[in-house]
Amino acid sequence: MDSDGTLWQRRFGDDPAEALRALNDSLGFDRRMFREDIAGSRAHAAMLAAVGLLTGAERDGICDALDTVEAEMADGRFVPNAGDEDIHTAVERRVTELTPAGAKLHTGRSRNDQVAADLRLWTRTALGEVAEAVLELQRTLLGRAVEAGEALMPGYTHLQQAQPVLLAHHLLAHGWALARDFHRLVEARRRADVSPLGAGALAGSSLPLDPALTAAELGFGAVFDNSLDAVSDRDFVVDALYALAMLGLHLSRIGEELVIWSSTEFGFVELDDAYATGSSMLPQKKNPDVAELARAKAGRLIGHLTGLMATLKGLPLSYAKDLQEDKEPLFDAVDTVRLTLTALNGLIATTRFDIDRLSQQASSPYGAAADLAELLVTGGLAFREAHGVVAELVRRSLDGEGSLADLVAADERLPAEAAALFEAGAFAKRRSTPGGGGAEAVAAQIEKFRSRIDADAGRFRERE
Ligand code: ARG
């Protein structure tokens, strides 16, 4: 390779146009995979030596040069030159400057299998780190749920007060969504964990390569089955973007609730100063920017998912330069999710719940309506009839005839024990169905959630 030229320049008479370079070059973003690229090259060199295509000395020379390049890239000493169109070109060019054996490094390899391998390695690590951060947020929610004890809040449907639930129950509802995200991330990571090395440009090689050896060197869980598929397949990026978008979607729902709950009208929470912002004009304001951004970032994550799917749609086999467009959305999605998870975790950990306000809002007599109907059912009435009896009393109460409790007390269709349903906390005691919002069920749920987190954390470590 000429020191300033591209890998392929000798095929052409003229230098590449500036506009081509500006559009084509990817070093600006794919240098982020330099560790993966170098790890892949070490594994490839080791395999080439094992099958007799490099001498031991050549392999060692290449590996020493790779160490040097890695150090130069890590501490910013690396100087790219004009021909370094991507990270693969840059590393190989520099290795070849450092050792003549560098000219043999690309034996039996193409950037097509190389870039797929780099991105798979990068994805494997990144998804593992995101999954760890998800577990962290689950632990925070668990901690807040335990701390909330038997505090009640209004539960909503249609954002209308429906039935009281334990605050812990509501917090854990988000926790279970995150538990599904954790599994999606682990599954996406497993799908990334397949080595494409040895596929070459598209068809394998006439040289005696050993793809299983390279895969083992890199700790890949599996090896490709079809070389065309190996260099074309970006399903693992889509899977990762889907898992990240779903996670982002869940974070946006938490964010939205914190926005509502911190409003003056709701007043359910007060955000900690460290996680709130002020207004440049209105001195009294305390704004929930973290929660709003958590709500907003989901849009960007969904955009990355649909954007990449649109890029992949209709692409002919095997490699096409379109595939270079896979990295920026993935990198940005991972960065976005990590930032959001960290900030939201801090916000939730420090938010103060106004327990009095929550329980006052949870104590509307109408919250007992379903329990009144169910009490009639235990007395033998068909549910539809029971619903009608209570609905009529609710309407009369809303029309100003009296409080629901008074109307219930005066109605002989309802037994005397109906009065107890209006007592504070009665709801929490009566709701005992598994997975429900009452105290006993939530206590069991907390233990289940805790063991789920512990099991996930354990499983996660085993796979490392
Ligand atoms: N920078 C390229 C990418 O990200 C690497 C593969 C280039 N392969 C090729 N045949 N031009 O996809």
Q: For 25-50, how does the pLDDT look when each residue is reduced to its tens digit (9 = 90+)?
A: 999 999 999 999 999 999 999 999 99
Q: Which of 112, 308, 322, 331 to mutate to test the pocket of ligand 1 (most atoms within 8 A of CB)?
A: 112
Active site residue 279: yes
Residue 7: pLDDT band with limits 50, 70, 90: low
Query: Whose CA is closest to 117, among 39, 6, 28, 7?
Result: 39
323 lines ligand 1 (CB under 6 A): yes
**Dist CA 259 CA 275 (whole Å):** 12
- pLDDT (0 to 100) of residue 462: 66
**Which atom of ligand 1 lies at the shortest distance from residue 321's CA?**
12
Please report, rounded to a whole number, the percentage of residues in the chain having pLDDT higher than 70: 97
Average pLDDT of the residues in 100-128 = 98
Element (H, E) at 223: strand 222-223
What is the distance in A from the centroid of ligand 1 to the CA of 321? 6
Cβ atoms of 100 and 18 within 8 Å: the answer is no
- pLDDT (0 to 100) of residue 432: 83
Q: Quick check: 346 pLDDT over 70?
A: yes
Which region among 265-269, 280-284, 312-316 has the lowest average model confidence (pLDDT)? 280-284
Residue 5: pLDDT band with limits 50, 70, 90: low
**Dist CA 30 CA 328 (whole Å):** 8
Average pLDDT of the residues in 81-91 = 96
Catalytic position from the list 279, 403, 432, 451: 279
Average pLDDT of the residues in 186-197 = 98
pLDDT in tens, 424-462: 778 777 888 999 988 999 999 999 999 999 999 987 776
Helix (H, G, I), strand (E, B) or coil at 67: helix
Closest C-alpha residue for ligand 1 atom 12: 324
- pLDDT (0 to 100) of residue 8: 64
Element (H, E) at 204: none
Active site residue 158: yes
- pLDDT (0 to 100) of residue 12: 76
Average pLDDT of the residues in 384-411 = 94
**Dist CA 155 CA 167 (whole Å):** 9
Mean pLDDT of the chain: 94
Residue 284: pLDDT band with limits 50, 70, 90: confident
Residue 68: pLDDT band with limits 50, 70, 90: very high
Residue with tokens 């999710």: 337
330 lines ligand 1 (CB under 6 A): no
What is the distance in A from the centroid of ligand 1 to the CA of 334? 22
Average pLDDT of the residues in 404-416 = 91
What is the distance in A from the centroid of ligand 1 to the CA of 112? 6
112 lines ligand 1 (CB under 6 A): yes
Residue 2: pLDDT band with limits 50, 70, 90: very low
Residue 1: pLDDT band with limits 50, 70, 90: very low
Q: Is the peptide bond before 432 cis (omega within 30 degrees of 0)?
A: no
**Which atom of ligand 1 lies at the shortest distance from residue 85's CA?**
1
Q: Quick check: 264 pLDDT over 90?
A: yes
115 lines ligand 1 (CB under 6 A): yes
Backbone angles phi, psi at 97, to 5 degrees: -65, -35
Catalytic position from the list 3, 26, 44, 158: 158
311 lines ligand 1 (CB under 6 A): no
- pLDDT (0 to 100) of residue 3: 46
Helix (H, G, I), strand (E, B) or coil at 165: strand
Helix (H, G, I), strand (E, B) or coil at 163: strand
pLDDT in tens, 361-385: 999 888 889 889 999 999 999 999 9
